[in-house]
Amino acid sequence: MAEPHYSDFFVSTAWLADNLTAPDLVVIDGTFFMPDEGRDAYQEYLAGHIPGAVSFDIDKIADLSSELPHMLPDAPFFEGKMAALGIAEDMQIIVYDQQGLLGAARVWWTLRIFGAQKVKILEGGLAAWKAEGRPLENGPVERPFAKFIARLETDMVADAQKVLAASKNGSPQIVDARQAARFRGETVEPRPGVRSGHIPGSLNVPYRELLDGGKLKAPQDIKQAFVQAGVDLAHPIITTCGSGVTAAVLLLALESIGKTGVVLYDGSWTEWGGRSELPIATNAA
């Protein structure tokens, strides 16, 4: 695998500060909190965000007809939401979140799936920006309407049937980002009605093992984490997690070490564990 460059995926706080007023640049606050955290991402955005940043709520820019959380919407709906935020697919888009790298990875992936050409993540997120004493802004931000031409890359998104086939055939490899106890089925799932366990045949790389202080670890450490979990980096991979958020962290980490063509299971364990006809496994390493 060819080794990508840092700048293919991330910008520094210094770079963003120097380019913040560029006419073709838009900054997105993609903060997402887990359901059990009891925090309101939008209210925290209003209380303080990078100047000019708009808020991207993955639970609202989603398929609102689905019972599953933050599933990808169709292209026309996405176009309308991006137009309202003042985002075009050819703009330079910088995504950050308050925790460093969580919601930002999901928003980064979503924008790319719909055809955004130049999307990068602020390394260290809002925490790094604040730590350096850089300016903040309160309240909502309104940008002029823009035209976003959305083309959903369906080949880069897996549904339950594709994952079931992979589970039965052993290819592509299925890699789960949840913590080990959840993967093994030792803890109750945070969403009611969802069984505990994992997709049969899947491997476990907890996303936190790939992070250090809200940033991705060094490439050699990322490779080691996947290889130690039994992942063959030369073969196809589907990433999954609880609801398709931290699966994007795995996908980002894999791309950062040169792995291309990684597919994300959008419904993830919330769908799989909630459907009684789909098989589960427990207590596997």
Active site (catalytic) residues: 241
Nearest one of 43, 106, 100, 137 to 249, comparing CA atoms: 106
- How far apart CA 77 and CA 79 sit, in angstroms, is 5
- How far apart CA 42 and CA 46 sit, in angstroms, is 6
- How far apart CA 169 and CA 147 sit, in angstroms, is 42
Residue pair 149/238 in contact (Cβ under 8 Å)? The answer is no
SS3 content of the chain, % helix, strand, coil (to 5): 35, 15, 50
- How far apart CA 112 and CA 205 sit, in angstroms, is 23
Burial of residue 36, with CB atoms counted within 10 A of its CB: 0-12 exposed, 13-18 middle, 19 or more buried: exposed
- How far apart CA 19 and CA 32 sit, in angstroms, is 25
